[in-house]
Amino acid sequence: MNGYLEALQPKLSENGYQKLSAIDNTKVHEFIAKASDLCNAEKIFICSDSAEDIAYVRQQAIDSCEEKILALPGHTVHFDGVYDQGRDREATKYLVPKGVVLSKALNQIDRQEGLAEVKGLLRDSMEGRTMIVRFISLGPPNSIFTVLGLQCTDSWYVAHSEDLLYRPGYEVFRRAEPNREFLRVLHSSGKINENMASVEHEKKRIYIDHMDNTIYSVNTQYAGNSVGFKKLAFRLAIRKADREGWLAEHMMIMGVHGPGGRKTYFSGAFPSACGKTSTAMLPGETILGDDIAYIRDIGSVARAVNVESGIFGIIQDVNPIDDATIYEVLTSPGEIIFSNVLIKDDKPYWLGMGSELPKDGINFSGEWHEGKKDEFGNEIPLAHKNARYAVALKALENCDPELDNPMGVELSAILYGGRDAKAYVPVQQSFSWEHGIIAYGASLETETTYATIGKEGVPEINMMSIQDFISIPLGQNVCNNLEFGKKLKKAPLVFGVNYFLRDKDNGKFLNAPQDKHVWIKWMELRVHGEAGAIRSPTGYIPKYADLRKLFDRVLNKDYAEEDYIKQFTIRVPENLAKIERVQRFYQENVSDTPSELFEILDQQRQRLVEAKERFGDYISPENFEW
Ligand code: SPV
Ligand code: MN
């Protein structure tokens, strides 16, 4: 027995003590002992991932009132505080040791100062509470991809969510060598009110200490800030991947089903609320992951795993028309945690669900009725726009069978999708790996959305949709992506998609949400060399005849040529302006930008200028078939 185990013994049950002693890793015991000392937990519960422990965690989430039972079997609801409804960029900081410089685009604080501050906030935060300890395997266990994680939290809701969203890791820790590396998370909800929501939002802190592979999170419960293996450990994984020569990406992974029963895997990076989950959940396709992927070069092929094993998805606009598969899951029995929806008669309601909505109920603001105002006089919506659900992938009929393949799946295509009202066409294929990484990935533009706290609709560059999580110099991330593909025998094709293009005259969206299914099927044909394309200045774009067939086959829709022309017209001024913005962003913010980025953007500018000289500002796709 080591000193840490000894110190922990009084707070553990006999069984808990046995479970913890079975893990032969002093660093594990040390982290738990220090966490418990700092937070002054009354008791410690070690979750071994046995059916009994899992059931206990779920029951405690209900008994503690962090979750309430809903009408359908397996459904519960959790509410986060009014000021705790999304990831919090301002409260999230990297701890930077003296003498180390991080990109100025990253929110940061001196390491010593930050540690003192966050530990001050965590001190005694678990007085009278139980600290729950969870062991997680990020990626399938016992695979080259596996990264281990350990979280201490005082929230049963957080512990329960981890059960739905991650693979169990206790047995992996138990069998691992004594000095096995792992990521650490310490979370406390801090002071909570009668509704069990964190109240001291001005003292919310999420600090990332990469020196110690540790994340500290306090005074928050929103899962994106508290479930450490979501975006918090992801930030540490990006550093690890950088050191070890692989990629940790904010990407979904899906199996796209093509002619003759073949299946082709795509991964896709989209900023929050830009259609990532609904792409991965398209009816008839299979989902392998919806948020975070680890990608490695194995035998000169890009192979990917889902870091997680569940979905923490946005539940706005999920209805039988736009998101049939998810809608079906959310309205059927099965284990689901809803958060920040409206509850009426024990049933969940959300914005854009496609049916009549109640005029009152309980939501994140407490008792709610139509017209209720917040303290600033703004109307409180029925449900938060960033309301979410947590569900295990295995509970879904469309879960891809390769989810736990320790070798991952071979990626044939990578998608980058932004929120671009003006410039990029709905779908295009890059001329090369490098062109795709730069012109689509590194140039990804979006608008801030409700998934983070702050103003909505502010345009911004969100490099590879990873900007909020990047923990290495931004230019280094571009280089890592460029190099990764250059080394592959056959790099995945790179596509840019844009579900948010608007009519330049009336401002209306040019596509219905379902149209993305056609783009996916077109890309699948491109991977197999079964669809033609037109070379435009910004990439290869689809031919009308191919899309027409696909619209008919996939959506049973007549696709008018006039719509095609509107959607695939190359808008030269808007594209030139985009290049300007991207260049300026890298020039001003990213001192280590590789020169290849500027060269590739210059080439794109050149192609646009030449096309403009021949055809004018707005160029219908037919013109490019020379
Ligand atoms: C996202 O916003 O990208 C999410 C949810 O996947 S969160 O856990 O908040 O990051
Ligand atoms: Mn995400």
Q: Which residue type is seen at 94?
A: Y
Question: Which band of pLDDT confidence, cut at 50, 70 and 90, is reported for residue 453?
Answer: confident
Residue 138, strand partner residues: 147
- Residue in the structure block whose two tokens are 């979905």: 311
pLDDT, average across residues 209-232: 95
CA angle 590, 592, 598 (to 5 degrees): 80
Spell out where 139-213 has E strands: 147-153, 167-168, 183-188, 205-209
The yes-or-no answer on residue 47 being catalytic is no
Which atom of ligand 1 is the closest one to the Cα of 273?
A: 2
Q: How many Å apart are CA 173 and CA 133, to the nearest integer? A: 13
Residue 362 buriedness (CB in 10 A; 0-12 / 13-18 / 19+): middle
Residue nearest to atom 6 of ligand 1 (CA): 291
d(CA 127, CA 301): 51
Q: Which of 272, 276, 391 to mutate to test the pocket of ligand 1 (most atoms within 8 A of CB)?
A: 272
Query: Is 291 within 8 Å of 438 (Cβ atoms)?
Result: no
Q: Is the pLDDT score of 554 beyond 70? A: yes
Q: Say if ligand 1 is within 6 A of residue 451 CB.
A: yes
* Residue tagged 């031919």 (tokens): 543
Distance, CA of 303 to CA of 478 (rounded, Å): 19
Among protein residues, the one with the nearest Cα to ligand 1's atom 8 is 224
At a CB cut-off of 8 Å and minimum separation 6, what does 334 contact?
73, 74, 75, 391, 395
Residue 325: C-alpha distances to residues 275, 322, 372, 551, 577 (Å): 14, 9, 32, 19, 38
- Check residue 214 and report its DSSP letter: E
Per-residue confidence band for 272, with pLDDT thresholds at 50, 70 and 90 = confident
Tell me the pLDDT tens digit for each residue of 94-141. Answer: 999 998 887 777 899 999 999 999 999 999 999 999 999 999 999 999
Confidence at 1, pLDDT banded by 50, 70, 90: low
**Distance of alpha carbon 128 from alpha carbon 372, whole angstroms:** 36
* Helix, strand, coil percentages in the chain from 3-state DSSP, rounded to 5: 35, 25, 40
Q: Which atom of ligand 1 is nearest to the CA of 223?
A: 8
What are 11-59's pLDDT values in tens digits? Answer: 999 999 999 999 999 999 999 999 999 999 999 999 999 999 999 999 9
Q: What number of other Cβ atoms are within 10 A of residue 45's Cβ? A: 22
Under a CB-based contact definition with an 8 Å cutoff, are residues 482 and 596 in contact? Answer: yes
Per the structure block, which two tokens stand in for 418? 């932004």
Residue 485: both structure tokens together: 């593909």
Neighbours of 526 (CB within 10 A): 21
What percent of the chain is modeled with pLDDT above 70? 100
Q: Mean pLDDT over residues 440-451, rounded?
A: 88
Starting from the edge strand earliest in sequence, which strands make up the sheet with 388-392, in order? 68-69, 75-78, 336-339, 388-392, 310-314
- Ligand 2: centre distance to CA 468 (Å): 10
pTM of the complete model: 0.95
CB 554 within 8 A of CB 518: yes
Shortest-distance Cα residue to atom 2 of ligand 1: 272
Of 85, 225, 231, the one to substitute when testing ligand 1's pocket (max ligand atoms within 8 A of C-beta) is 231
**Contact in structure between 251 and 413 (CB atoms under 8 Å):** no
pLDDT in tens, 167-181: 999 999 999 999 999
Using DSSP, state whether 145 is helix, strand or coil. Answer: coil
Distance 288 CA to ligand 1 centre (A): 17
pLDDT in tens, 477-489: 999 999 999 999 9
Mean pLDDT (the chain, rounded):
96
Report the C-alpha gap between 83 and 151 in whole angstroms: 24
Ligand 1 site-directed mutation target among 225, 312, 316, most atoms within 8 Å of CB: 312
pLDDT above 90: percentage of residues in the chain: 92
Q: Would you call 90 helix, strand, or coil by DSSP?
A: coil
What is the C-alpha to C-alpha distance for residues 108 and 110, in angstroms, rounded to an integer?
7
What residue owns the CA closest to ligand 1's atom 7?
224
pLDDT score recorded for residue 171? 98
Cβ atoms 150, 31 nearer than 8 A: yes
The alpha-carbon radius of gyration of the chain (Å, integer) is: 24
Distance CA 143, CA 66 (A): 35
Between the CA of 167 and the centroid of ligand 2 the distance, in Å, is 18
At 64-80, the pLDDT tens digits run 999 999 999 999 999 99
Helix axes 51-63, 156-165, angle to 10 degrees: 140
| Ion ligand 2 neighbours, Cβ < 5 Å | 291
pLDDT in tens, 402-420: 999 999 999 999 999 999 9
Question: What token pair was written down for 5?
Answer: 């185990």
Q: Is the pLDDT of residue 61 over 60?
A: yes
- The closest alpha carbon to 179, from 25, 68, 44, belongs to 25
352: phi then psi, degrees, rounded to nearest 5: 70, 30
Nearest one of 424, 441, 423, 421 to 432, comparing CA atoms:
441
Q: Is the CB of 282 under 6 A from ligand 1?
A: no
156-166 exposure pattern, b = at least 16 Cβ within 10 A, e = fewer: bbbbbbbbbbb
In this structure, which residue's CA is closest to atom 4 in ligand 1?
272
